[in-house]
């Protein structure tokens, strides 16, 4: 994970300002002769703001939080979406919708040679959401291709890390910190070999399941695992086939049909999750997915 450094920034010519996702309480300010880190409390998480200038004067944390919530200072959620992270908006049939922003991250490898492979279905899901919801992926930030928009009244960030799979946490952690997204609203989308091909599963939390990309994300979220995930089944390697070769292989024509159908269903699942949370609809969705290819 990204650790807090206490070295003098002038000792490292390549040092740049960054934001570190730190859900648990920590020391708010370090020695001003070294890297300055100030902690903000917002949207249920602790956020540390790193400042490279050793003599920079920082506003008091309490005042900074109030100003950030009003969208006046900082690079946080107020400046981008202009909403209070805890605000509610009218939804369908008069039901109030939680407008806390979501960060939806698809895992995969950048580059044309990986397009259409099993390990890149997370990227494909983000592309499907982008097209369906009209959210353009047109920004590069924190080592990720980023799109900013909304689903209904809920602000959404779509992200495709450009770091390669095993280092994707280097993009997810800073994005979550910069936009002040609470852990419960970071949705990770990735391939899952323990599920049959084309079968989806929504989970409110979990471990890494030996998935290196998920493991890296957990490391960069301070070891926290309590974020939701949408798993896309890709099946297991046949026979004694090497796992790496299997993951970097493209789908067969029949498998491709199942995955394409799953991607369409996944877009609706994400929309339901964002607008309604983990309610009975998600339970029914998972049950339907479990048996959709079950042969009697």
Q: Which of 49, 119, 128, 220 is catalytic?
A: 119
Please say if 220 is a catalytic residue: no
Task: Report the 3 state secondary structure along the chain.
Answer: CCCCCCCCHHHCCCCCCCEEECCCCCCCCCCCCCCEEEEEEECCEEEEEEECCCCCCCCCHHHHHHHHHCCCCCCCHHHHHCCCCCCEEECHHHCEEECCCEEEEECCCCCHHHCCEHHHHHHHHHHHHHHHHCCCEEEEECCEEEEEEEECCEEEEEEEECCCHHHCHHHHHHHHHHCCCCHHHEEEEEEECCCCCCCEEEECCCCCCCCHHHHHHHHHCCCCCCCCEEEEECCCCCCCCCHHHHHCCECCHHHHHHHHHHHHHHHHHHHHHHHHCCCHHHHHHHHHHHCCCCCC
Kindly list the catalytic residues.
119
């Amino acid at each position: 994970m990204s650790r807090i450094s206490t070295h003098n920034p002038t000792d490292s010519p390549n040092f740049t300002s960054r934001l570190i996702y730190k859900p648990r309480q920590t020391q708010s300010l370090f020695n001003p002769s070294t890297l300055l880190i100030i902690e903000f409390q917002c949207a249920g998480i602790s956020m540390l703001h790193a400042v490279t200038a050793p003599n920079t004067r920082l506003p008091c944390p309490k005042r900074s939080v109030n100003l950030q919530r009003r969208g006046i200072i900082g690079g946080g959620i107020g400046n981008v979406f202009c909403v209070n992270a805890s605000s509610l908006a009218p939804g369908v049939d008069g039901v109030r919708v939680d407008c806390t922003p979501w960060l939806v991250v698809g895992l995969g490898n950048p580059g044309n040679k990986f397009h259409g492979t099993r390990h890149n279905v997370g990227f494909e899901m983000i592309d499907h959401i982008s097209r369906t919801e009209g959210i353009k992926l047109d920004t590069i930030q924190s080592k990720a291709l980023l799109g900013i928009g909304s689903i209904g009244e809920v602000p959404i960030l779509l992200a495709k890390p450009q770091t390669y799979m095993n280092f994707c946490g280097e993009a997810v952690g800073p994005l979550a910190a910069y936009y002040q997204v609470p852990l419960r609203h970071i949705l990770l989308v990735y391939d899952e070999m323990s599920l049959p091909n084309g079968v989806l599963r929504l989970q409110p939390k979990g471990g890494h399941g030996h998935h290196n990309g998920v493991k890296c994300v957990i490391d960069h979220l301070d070891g926290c695992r309590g974020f939701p995930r949408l798993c896309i089944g890709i099946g297991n390697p046949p026979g004694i086939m090497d796992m790496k070769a299997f993951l970097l292989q493209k789908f067969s024509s029949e498998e491709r049909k199942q995955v394409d159908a799953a991607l369409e269903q996944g877009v609706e699942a994400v929309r339901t999750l964002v607008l309604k949370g983990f309610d009975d609809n998600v339970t029914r969705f998972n049950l339907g997915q479990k048996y959709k290819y079950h042969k009697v």
